[in-house]
């Protein structure tokens, strides 16, 4: 199966069919289109409606997750509902299967990596913060565990590894992803690859400790690295 993947579309209220042509083009090259969060710029309803019109033009299944920008206005559930109505499968609590390939995803969260990973110690606010990161990792793991396919594609917004963040200021790595996501991923040996966005100035490819390929498909990364509007990956 050939998969077109891109994140960080950042559709604005004044956009006019911003991705209609790209989605139509992807439909001719891929079997599935995957969107890796920050689909809108501020999580506004008109932004979601504009993107929904473009999603409806895709001739292949569209799956994806929301990003932090899609939560900005506190209307993320409405945003997700609009995208679902347009035909997109919003991956979160439930996984999805297409032609024998499983798709599982979650937005993910921040929290850091290695010695810089935030621990649930001290003030209740820090513990609550880490609880959110742990919950996103649990959602991802539960979705992965629900699949019985030989191959799985994992979809995130935040990065599960630091390797695909290289190029961003190291001071903000902890805001761009969480190693807890990689811990969940590395419990499975049938993940073909992982795609994420969020790190606009990061690196295209890395791998988890177990060796699972991870691709940063943030649109600016694809533009600057390959001059393309989406990545084409084989599952």
Structure tokens of 180? Answer: 């807890």
Site of tokens 């937005």: 107
pLDDT digits (tens, 9 = 90+) for 129-155: 999 999 999 999 999 999 999 999 999
pLDDT digits (tens, 9 = 90+) for 4-49: 999 999 999 999 999 999 999 999 999 999 999 999 999 999 999 9
Q: Report the 10 Å Cβ neighbour count for 212.
A: 22
pLDDT digits (tens, 9 = 90+) for 139-196: 999 999 999 999 999 999 999 999 999 999 999 999 999 999 999 999 999 999 999 9
Q: Is the pLDDT score of 93 beyond 90? A: no
**Residue 232: per-residue pLDDT:** 98
Instruction: Please give the Cα distance from 219 to 167 (Å, whole number).
Output: 15
7-30 burial, b at 16+ Cβ within 10 Å, e below that, comes to bbbbbeeebeebbbebbeebbeeb
Which domains are assigned to the chain? 2-234 (3.60.21.10)
Q: pLDDT above 90 covers what percent of the chain?
A: 99
Q: Determine the average pLDDT of the residues in 219-229.
A: 97
């Amino acid at each position: 199966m050939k998969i077109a993947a891109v994140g960080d579309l950042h559709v604005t209220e004044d956009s006019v069919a911003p991705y209609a042509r790209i989605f139509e083009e992807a439909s001719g090259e891929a079997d599935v289109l995957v969107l890796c969060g920050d689909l809108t710029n501020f999580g506004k309803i008109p932004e979601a409606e504009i993107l929904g019109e473009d999603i409806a033009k895709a001739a292949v299944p569209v799956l994806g997750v929301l990003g932090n920008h899609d939560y900005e206005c506190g209307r993320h559930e409405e945003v997700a509902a609009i995208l679902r109505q347009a035909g997109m499968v919003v991956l979160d609590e439930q996984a999805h299967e297409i032609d024998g390939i499983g798709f599982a995803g979650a937005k993910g969260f921040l929290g850091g990596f290695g010695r810089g990973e935030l621990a649930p110690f001290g003030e209740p606010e820090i513990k609550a913060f880490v609880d959110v990161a742990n919950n996103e990792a649990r959602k991802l793991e539960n979705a992965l565990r629900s699949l019985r396919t030989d191959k799985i594609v994992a979809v995130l917004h935040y990065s599960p590894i630091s390797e695909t963040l290289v190029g961003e200021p190291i001071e903000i790595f902890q805001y761009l992803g969480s190693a807890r996501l990689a811990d969940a991923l590395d419990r499975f040996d049938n993940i073909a690859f992982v795609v994420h966005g969020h790190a606009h100035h990061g690196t295209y490819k890395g791998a988890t400790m177990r060796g699972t390929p991870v691709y940063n498909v943030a649109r600016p990364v694809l533009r600057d690295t390959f001059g393309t509007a989406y990545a084409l990956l084989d599952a």
